[in-house]
Structure 1
């Protein structure tokens, strides 16, 4: 486990996959499994280095106020510094799962062309008009090719996915079959969609 400075504490992250691989993918998640490999078998089949970062409150507080001195805005700044340190002067892939999704979106927008691929897994659209109004201009300028993954018949649903697809210039939606869900709440998770996610954020990295 490694740590990066953040406010008066630290962000925890872990690297796994292929050391020194030319392609790096940064993964933002929450909870006890945030810094674990979503599926080691699938990861080992790709020439890619994964940097998994665990986020939790207060890192996720006030996501609509990105760019200001809120915990979420400061977290984005810390993530930018971490990305620069772990993958200097290269383009990278970025993944945001569920409640970490909005920060992944903002980080991708803030990094510009440095993040060329983005995957959002089970991410809800903003729930109020103010949040939607504040996020829309940022999404309009997002350069990354974006994959929005939702679960069949679950939450988030097609309306959430379409909200992102309609606002991100290079976005596509994919629905994960309900038979692949791997949690008791019937929600799509990064583990259940890891192969699809890696194929998107690390194109051409599969070992032959």
Structure 2
């Protein structure tokens, strides 16, 4: 586990995959498994270096906005610094799962063309007018090609995917069939779609 400065503490992150790979993918997740490899067998099929960052409250509590000094906004600044340090001068892929999805969208918008591919998995659309008003301008600034993944019993459904799809310049939706979801609660997880996500955020990196 490595640590990066954040507010009055540190963000924890871990790297895995191919250390010297030309393509880097940053993964934002929450919970105890946030910095673990979603599926090591799948990761080994790609010539890619993955940097998994663990996020939790309070950095997820307030909606992020450009120039904001909320914990979420300051977290995006810390993630920008981490990305620039871990992949200097490179374009990268970015993944956000569930509660970490809005931070991933904000980070992709803030980094401009540096983040050329984005995948959000099981991410709900804003639930109130304030959050919608905050997040819509972020999507207007999004250069990345996006993959929106939903499926199962939640937390995000077709309506959430449609909300993002309508507001992104370049995006596609993938609905995961129920028989491909093996989580206890029936929710789509990054592990269940890791190969499809890597194909999107690391195009051309599959090993021969």
After TM superposition, the score normalised by the length of structure 1 is 0.98
- Report the counterpart of residue 178 of structure 1 in structure 2: 178
- Report the counterpart of residue 76 of structure 1 in structure 2: 76
CA contact (8 A) 1:150 1:175 kept: yes
Runs of at least 5 residues in structure 2 that lack an aligned partner in the other structure: none
Instruction: Indicate yes or no: 2:14 matched with 1:14.
Output: yes
Instruction: Indicate yes or no: 2:139 matched with 1:114.
Output: no
Measured after TM superposition, the shift of residue 135 of structure 1 is: 1.1
Q: What is the CA deviation profile of residues 79-134 of structure 1, one whole-angstrom value per residue up to 9, with x for unaligned ones?
A: 00000000001100000000000000000000000000000000000000111112
- Report the counterpart of residue 5 of structure 1 in structure 2: 5
SS in 1 for 2:113: helix
- Report the counterpart of residue 87 of structure 2 in structure 1: 87
CA contact (8 A) 2:64 2:106 kept: no
Measured after TM superposition, the shift of residue 155 of structure 1 is: 3.1
CA contact (8 A) 1:182 1:191 kept: no
SS in 1 for 2:84: helix
Q: Report the aligned-residue RMSD.
A: 1.0
- Report the counterpart of residue 191 of structure 2 in structure 1: 191
- Report the counterpart of residue 167 of structure 2 in structure 1: 167
CA distance in 2, matches of 1:78, 1:152: 33
- Report the counterpart of residue 207 of structure 1 in structure 2: 207
After TM superposition, the score normalised by the length of structure 2 is 0.98
Measured after TM superposition, the shift of residue 63 of structure 1 is: 1.7
